[in-house]
Each structure stands twice: as structure tokens, then as C-alpha cells.
């Protein structure tokens, strides 16, 4: 491979990975059904224990890392440019490790993550076999074009991550499972969440603030639909239902949304801290009726919100994903005005 061509290949790979990393980073903070829908591999991988390092989401490492590799490739004769090879090798090793984690540890493949990781490995291979960098004159000549390409990659990636994730509820037929919970004379709010889902946890904080503001004006019901790809979600959902049977569903829900560990023994520990009867709690958690109820909830929620969770109904308006509190307030006021 010729040296100028090799340099261009590295930059193009870095730009592709930079764009997808930016898309996943935006999606991390603003869930997007087009990227990560219900039970998608993308969501499962990024919300797993491997999806963050010291609390920092992996897509942020991708944005920074590929931006650095791209930038260094434009200054091959500088002191920093000499770091390109070791950093490229490190990126390739990291990409290979993440591919192996998806294949063997998670047994789920995020197609966007896979493209990014393969790009990292390819950059390392091309850098190792391609010899030294391109001539400085050729690099300087096209440097403005490459910088424009980097800005375009970041912009397109951010747009992809935000596409379809705008605020605003959807009007339409309300599932009978939701209307059956309504109380006349109130604005009814129904939240469906998976306690392990990170987006559900963030949306729950919004709902909690909204309920604190509205007080007695609304009637609130919480439902749980554990997504099969979240390994601890079903344990948490059982704990919630069984706490509801003892009149402490809201308290258990708050504890579950905060808990980093949702394994059965941890759920029992939460039940003990709330003063629940452990024999009754264990009997409920093991009951076939509890499993049947969770299966039924999951089935109708998948049909009602095929893009995933969280989902909140404010009367007849359905809000999917992470929404600003202003949208819930507006829907509540509109519903209240219709009741007058």
C-alpha cells in the first residue's frame, strides 16, 4: 500500500469511527429508537457493565480517541505525530478486546460498536504495515479538507444519534391495559419501566419531579416490564410486585432504581430494609402467578411501544424515551383542560 494512500485510509477509518462514536454518545444521553430499539443488541451492549469505564460511557472514549488519532495523522513530523503508531496499536488492541467481549462475554453484537471496533483494529494494522507517514507537503496541502471532513463526521454522527428522539408525546389509541387503570376525575399518569434500564432510571427522575409538582391533581400507576436482555431486570420486577402486595411498592421502586445490584439476594436485602415479611416476599417471588403477570405485561408493552422503554402515558398521550419535564407538564395541562 502506498504511503499517501495508507495515510488516507487511516484518516477515513478514523472519521467513520468518529461519526458512529458521536452518534452513540448522543444516543446515550438522549435515547434514540432508530439506533437502539426494544431489546436491541446495541442497547444491551452499551447498557452492560462493559458499556462504561469508571462511569464514563465508552462512546466518549471513542470520540476522544479517534479524534486524537485523526489529528495526529495530520501532523506526521511533529513530536505528537510520532505517537500515532503506539496509540493506533493501543486502539487496535482495545477494539479487539471489545469485539471479544461482545462475542464471548455478552454474546450480543452491537452493529455500530462492531464497526467502530473493527475500524480501530484496521487502523492499527494499516499503521503497522504501512511504513512511515506521507510527505509533509501532501499533508499540509489537504489539511483544511480533512478538518472539514472531521467536522462533517461529528455533525452527521450527532444528527444520527438525535434522529427521531425529539420531545413530544404521541396521540393515538391507548392500550386497554392502561385505560383499565384510570380513575375518573383525575389526570392519569402510567409509567412502564425496566429497573435495570439506564434510560428508565433517568426518565424516572423526571417523572418523580413531575409527580412532586402535581400532587393530588394526578393519579399515578407504575408498571414494570423486564426486558429479557437485562439479566437482573426480572429479579427487580418480581421484588417490585411482591413489595406492592405488602403495600410498599413505591418505596421498593425507589430503592430498585437506585440500586447498582439487582440480584435476588440484593432484592431480598432491600425487602428487609423496608420491613417486609420475607416469607411472604419469597413466596410471592416464587409464585407462578408472578411470572405470568410479568410475561403478560411484557407482551402488551412490546406491542404498545415497539421502540422500547421507558414509556409514560399522561392520559392519552404516550411519551417514549427520555423526555423533558416540560412535555409532561404540557400534556397534564391539556388533559386537565379537556376535563373541564
Q: Average pLDDT, stretch 305-311?
A: 86
- Dihedral (CA of 209, 52, 295, 253) sign: negative
Q: What pLDDT, on a 0 to 100 scale, did the predictor assign at position 43? A: 74
If you average pLDDT over every residue of the chain, what do you get?
90
18 compared with 133, residue with greater pLDDT = 18
Q: Is the peptide bond before 310 cis (omega within 30 degrees of 0)?
A: yes
Three-class SS of residue 313? strand
Residue whose cell numbers read 473493527: 118
pLDDT band at 198 (very low <50, low <70, confident <90, very high): confident
Of the candidates 306, 284, 280, the one whose C-alpha atom is nearest the C-alpha of residue 293 is 284
Q: Average pLDDT, stretch 160-170?
A: 71
pLDDT digits (tens, 9 = 90+) for 67-126: 999 999 998 878 877 899 999 999 999 999 999 999 999 888 899 999 999 999 999 999
Q: What pLDDT, on a 0 to 100 scale, did the predictor assign at position 17? A: 98
Q: What pLDDT, on a 0 to 100 scale, did the predictor assign at position 2? A: 46
Q: Average pLDDT, stretch 10-25?
A: 96
Q: Which residue segments constitute the domains of the chain, with CATH numbers given?
A: 3-162 (1.20.1440.130), 170-339 (3.40.30.10)
324 compared with 138, residue with greater pLDDT = 324
Which stretches does DSSP call E strand in the chain? 52-53, 56-57, 170-171, 187-193, 218-224, 311-314, 317-320
Q: Which helix (H) or strand (E) holds 302?
A: helix 288-304
Q: Say which residues have a Cβ less than 8 Å from residue 113's Cβ, sequence separation at least 6.
A: 24, 42, 45, 46, 58, 98, 102
Of the candidates 133, 130, 125, 126, the one whose C-alpha atom is nearest the C-alpha of residue 96 is 125
Q: What pLDDT, on a 0 to 100 scale, did the predictor assign at position 136? A: 61
pLDDT digits (tens, 9 = 90+) for 23-37: 999 988 776 556 765
Range name among 46-50, 159-163, 284-288, 310-314 with the lowest pLDDT average: 46-50
107 compared with 187, residue with greater pLDDT = 187
Amino acid at each position: 500500500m502506498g504511503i499517501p494512500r495508507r495515510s488516507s485510509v487511516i484518516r477515513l477509518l478514523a472519521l467513520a469511527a468518529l461519526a458512529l462514536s458521536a452518534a452513540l454518545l448522543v444516543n446515550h444521553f438522549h435515547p434514540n429508537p432508530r439506533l437502539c430499539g426494544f431489546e436491541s443488541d446495541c442497547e444491551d451492549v452499551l447498557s452492560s457493565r462493559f458499556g462504561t469505564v469508571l462511569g464514563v460511557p465508552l462512546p466518549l472514549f471513542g470520540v476522544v480517541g479517534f479524534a486524537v488519532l485523526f489529528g495526529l495523522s495530520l501532523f506526521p513530523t511533529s513530536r505528537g505525530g510520532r505517537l500515532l503508531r503506539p496509540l493506533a496499536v493501543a486502539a487496535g488492541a482495545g477494539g479487539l478486546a471489545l469485539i471479544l467481549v461482545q462475542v464471548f462475554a455478552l454474546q450480543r453484537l452491537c452493529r455500530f460498536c462492531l464497526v467502530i471496533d473493527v475500524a480501530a483494529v484496521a487502523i492499527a494494522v494499516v499503521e503497522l504495515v504501512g511504513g512511515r507517514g506521507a510527505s509533509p507537503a501532501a499533508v499540509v496541502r489537504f489539511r483544511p479538507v480533512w478538518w472539514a471532513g472531521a467536522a462533517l463526521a461529528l455533525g452527521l454522527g450527532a444528527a444520527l444519534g438525535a434522529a427521531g428522539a425529539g420531545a413530544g408525546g404521541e396521540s393515538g389509541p391507548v392500550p386497554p391495559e392502561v385505560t383499565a387503570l384510570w380513575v375518573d376525575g383525575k389526570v392519569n399518569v402510567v409509567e412502564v419501566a425496566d429497573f435495570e434500564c439506564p434510560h428508565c432510571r433517568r426518565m424516572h427522575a423526571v417523572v418523580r419531579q413531575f409527580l412532586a409538582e402535581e400532587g393530588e391533581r394526578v393519579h399515578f400507576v407504575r408498571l414494570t416490564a423486564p426486558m429479557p436482555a437485562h439479566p437482573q431486570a426480572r429479579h427487580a420486577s418480581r421484588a417490585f410486585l411482591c413489595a406492592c402486595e405488602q403495600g410498599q411498592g413505591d418505596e421498593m421502586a425507589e430503592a430498585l432504581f437506585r440500586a447498582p445490584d439487582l440480584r435476588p439476594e440484593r432484592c431480598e436485602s432491600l425487602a428487609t430494609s423496608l420491613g417486609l415479611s420475607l416469607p411472604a416476599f419469597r413466596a410471592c417471588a416464587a409464585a407462578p402467578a408472578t411470572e405470568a403477570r410479568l410475561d403478560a405485561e411484557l407482551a402488551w408493552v412490546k406491542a404498545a411501544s415497539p421502540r422500547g422503554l421507558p414509556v409514560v402515558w399522561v392520559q392519552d398521550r404516550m411519551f417514549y424515551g427520555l423526555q423533558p419535564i416540560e412535555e409532561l407538564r404540557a400534556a397534564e395541562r391539556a388533559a386537565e383542560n379537556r376535563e373541564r
